[in-house]
């Protein structure tokens, strides 16, 4: 009997969820291990030390990849592993990681606001097109076809935003928010994460506190 290897391969199932739970999730917290051998492993080679430091793009991609794999409801902890860092370097790295994450969140928010403005304009335009089509319902079809062009265009743009682009933007917003709320810890060597309930509660409280502080700062900026 002839075997259909293509069908066999296509029926192969993955085990992504099991792998993610095994590698990252402990007691509802996602820990990202990051082994380094020196301070420079985390810094972009194009940075100007002490003036314009940025993260290594490979590290950014790694963090985003894990954040995308793990459930949104799991807070993130970045565990930087290596006994090569001074206390000053640890402080600089933590500030740089969180600053870059906050910057990325700001870029996502900016893009989200731009799409929201476009959505509002298109929605108003669609309503106007509906009114025009209603008022011109007695005209010949050839003339009315001209008004259908903007109607279809704006309707298509709104559907794309609601079901495709809008979904992607909300996903990127959640991911950027998780990275901006990430806890950074340092270890000399790798140890299996073992979070107690008290650790989980403390982490959630710290995240909530940081979020409330950013909201207060934003409100102060709007009032100025």
- Long-range pairs for 114-121 at CB < 8 Å and ≥24 separation? 115/161, 115/165, 115/166, 115/169, 118/157, 118/161, 119/158, 119/161, 119/166
Lowest mean pLDDT among 84-88, 109-113, 203-207, 212-216: 212-216
- Kindly report the average pLDDT of the chain as a whole number: 86
In three-state secondary structure terms, 77 is strand
Q: Are 178 and 68 in contact (CB under 8 A)?
A: no
Query: Which DSSP string corresponds to 20-74?
Result: HHHHTEETTEEEEEEE-SSGGGGB-TT-BTTTB--B-HHHHHHHHHHHHHS-TTS
Q: What is the pLDDT of residues 31-70, one digit of tens each?
A: 999 999 998 899 888 887 766 788 999 999 999 999 999 9
Query: For residue 133, what pLDDT band results from cuts at 50, 70 and 90?
Result: confident
Close Cβ partners of 109 (under 8 Å, ≥ 6 residues apart): 173, 176
pLDDT tens digits, 190-224: 988 888 888 888 888 888 888 888 877 777 766 66
Predicted local distance difference test score (pLDDT) of residue 79 = 95
What predicted TM-score, i.e. pTM, was given to this entire model? Answer: 0.78
Bridge-partner residues for 185, per DSSP?
A: 79
Calculate mean pLDDT across residues 19-25: 85
Q: Report the interhelical angle of 87-135 vs 141-160 (nearest 10°).
A: 160
CB atoms within 10 A of CB 113: 10
pLDDT tops 70 at residue 93: yes
């Amino acid at each position: 009997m002839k075997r259909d290897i293509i069908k066999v391969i296509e029926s192969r199932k993955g085990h992504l969820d099991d792998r993610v739970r095994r590698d990252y999730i402990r007691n509802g917290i996602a820990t990202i291990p990051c082994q380094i051998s020196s301070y420079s492993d985390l810094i972009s080679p194009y940075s100007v030390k002490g003036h314009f430091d940025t993260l290594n793009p490979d590290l950014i991609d790694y963090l985003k990849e894990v954040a995308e794999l793990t459930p949104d409801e799991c807070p993130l902890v970045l565990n930087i592993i290596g006994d090569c860092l001074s206390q000053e370097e640890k402080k600089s790295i933590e500030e740089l990681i969180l600053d870059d994450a906050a910057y990325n969140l700001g870029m996502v928010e900016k893009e989200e606001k731009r799409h929201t403005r476009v959505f509002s304009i298109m929605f108003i335009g669609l309503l106007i097109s509906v009114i025009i089509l209603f008022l011109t319902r007695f005209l010949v079809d050839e003339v009315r076809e001209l008004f259908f062009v903007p109607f279809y265009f704006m309707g298509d743009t709104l559907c794309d935003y609601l079901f495709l682009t809008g979904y992607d933007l909300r996903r990127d917003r959640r991911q950027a928010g998780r990275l901006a709320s990430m806890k950074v810890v340092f270890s000399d060597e790798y140890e299996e994460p073992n979070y107690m309930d008290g650790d989980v509660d403390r982490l959630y409280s710290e995240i909530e506190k940081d979020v409330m502080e950013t909201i207060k700062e934003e409100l102060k900026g709007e009032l100025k």
